[in-house]
Chain A
Amino acid sequence: GAGVSQSPSNKVTEKGKDVELRCDPISGHTALYWYRQSLGQGLEFLIYFQGNSAPDKSGLPSDRFSAERTGGSVSTLTIQRTQQEDSAVYLCASSLRPGTGSYEQYFGPGTRLTVT
Chain B
Amino acid sequence: TQLLEQSPQFLSIQEGENLTVYCNSSSVFSSLQWYRQEPGEGPVLLVTVVTGGEVKKLKRLTFQFGDARKDSSLHITAAQPGDTGLYLCAGVGSGAGSYQLTFGKGTKLSVIP
Q: A interface vs B, CB < 8 Å?
A: 4, 31, 33, 35, 40-45, 48, 50, 56, 91, 93, 95, 98-99, 102-105, 107-110
Smallest beta-carbon distance A57→chain B, Å: 13
A109→B42 contact, CB < 8 A: yes
B98→A98 contact, CB < 8 A: yes
B88: CB under 8 A from chain A?
Answer: yes
18 contacts between A and B (CB under 8 A): A4-B42, A35-B103, A40-B105, A41-B105, A42-B4, A42-B88, A42-B103, A43-B43, A43-B101, A43-B103, A45-B100, A45-B101, A95-B99, A102-B48, A103-B31, A104-B48, A107-B44, A110-B41
B40: CB under 8 A from chain A?
Answer: yes
- Which among A48, A103, A110 is the interface contact of B92 at CB below 8 angstroms? A103
Enumerate B67-113 residues with CB–CB distance to A below 8 Å: 88, 90, 92, 98-106
B45: CB under 8 A from chain A?
Answer: yes
Inter-chain CA distance A31–B101, complex, in Å, is 13
Inter-chain CA distance A111–B98, complex, in Å, is 26
A103→B48 contact, CB < 8 A: yes
B45→A104 contact, CB < 8 A: yes
Instruction: Given the known inter-chain contacts A98-B99, A99-B98, please indicate yes or no for A105 contacting B45, CB distance below 8 A.
Output: yes
Instruction: Given the known inter-chain contacts A41-B105, A102-B48, A104-B48, please indicate yes or no for A48 contacting B40, CB distance below 8 A.
Output: no
Given A103-B31, A107-B42, A107-B43, 12 further pairs, Cβ under 8 A: A4-B42, A42-B103, A43-B90, A48-B100, A50-B99, A56-B99, A99-B98, A103-B92, A104-B48, A105-B45, A110-B40, A110-B41
Inter-chain CA distance A10–B48, complex, in Å, is 31
For B40, B42, B99, the residue with the greatest tally of chain A CB atoms inside 10 Å of its CB is: B42
- Which among B31, B101, B106 is the interface contact of A105 at CB below 8 angstroms? B101
Inter-chain CA distance A95–B42, complex, in Å, is 14
B105→A42 contact, CB < 8 A: yes
